[in-house]
Structure 1
Amino acid sequence: MILYDNLEEITYLEKIVSVLTNSDVELVFINNDGMQEINKNTRKINKTTDVLSFPHDNSFLDTNFLGSIVINTELAAEKSQELGHSLENEISLLFIHGLLHLLGYDHEIDNGEMRLKEIELINKFNLPKSLIVRTLD
């Protein structure tokens, strides 16, 4: 189940979650300025970005909460227009990317496992190319 912060229920994202985990995920939508502030405070990078993930440390609590995904809707709208697909598709791609990070995948250090999982999910949900795949083109 997704714990929503800002927008109405998005059932297509719940379907994506249900394929990968039974855990709860918080989804936060934010603008460029808000994302830049989060990125600066958490990663010491003073610029905006499209998606960030914050895994929850469940080692000391008995909880079903996996973590939080923050999506920059301004950048998502720009990228969806640039690439000629819907905002819903772009948000789905960003969400998949963030969710895989919550699940422990890391495209910066793995041997392509995250890319393969993204491709599998893109095909399953009939989505356009993912973040990782786009950077490989």
Structure 2
Amino acid sequence: MIDIENNTSFEIDLSSLESIANELTSKDIELIITQNDEIQELNKEHRNIDKATDVLSFPLEFDMPNMPAGSIVISTDFVEEKAKEYGHTFNEELSLLFIHGLLHLIGFDHEVDNGEHRDKEEELINKFNLPKSLIIRNS
């Protein structure tokens, strides 16, 4: 189940995100939808990077039964910008960023792995018939 905190005026359709989440985990996920100013504060506080970003993941440090996997924060400013840039819908871009963040929550890390994160992203993008733009821009 996805527990959403929507700090924007956007209507968020959780049905496709729930399908993606159920493919990877049975744990609950907190999803925070925000804008660049808030995600920039989180990025600065938790990663010492003082700039906005598209998606942040905060996995729980320990794995216990009935505990959520963690939190994913997505900036709608980036969702709008990238959807327009790559010519797809807001919901498609949101799904792409959700996949990226969810994979980080469950232990994938493209910064240190041997391509496993990117391979799993591609598999999910194909399975859910999403635009290939995330694959292209991250290759």
The TM-score normalised by the length of structure 1 is 0.92
Q: Do residues 104 (structure 1) and 92 (structure 2) align? A: no
Q: Provide the residue aligned with 1:28 in structure 2.
A: 32
Q: Provide the residue aligned with 1:65 in structure 2.
A: 68
Unaligned runs of 5+ in 2: none
Q: Do residues 123 (structure 1) and 126 (structure 2) align? A: yes
Take 1:62 and 1:95, find their aligned partners in 2: how far apart are those partners? 23
Q: Do residues 81 (structure 1) and 84 (structure 2) align? A: yes
Q: 1:3 corresponds to which letter in structure 2?
A: D
Measured after TM superposition, the shift of residue 132 of structure 1 is 4.8
Given that 1:118 and 1:130 are in contact with CA atoms closer than 8 Å, whether structure 2 keeps it comes out as: no
The TM-score normalised by the length of structure 2 is 0.91
Q: 1:100 corresponds to which letter in structure 2?
A: L
Q: Do residues 52 (structure 1) and 56 (structure 2) align? A: yes
Take 1:113 and 1:47, find their aligned partners in 2: how far apart are those partners? 27
Aligned alpha-carbon RMSD (Å): 1.4
**1:92 pairs with 91, 95, 101, which one?**
95
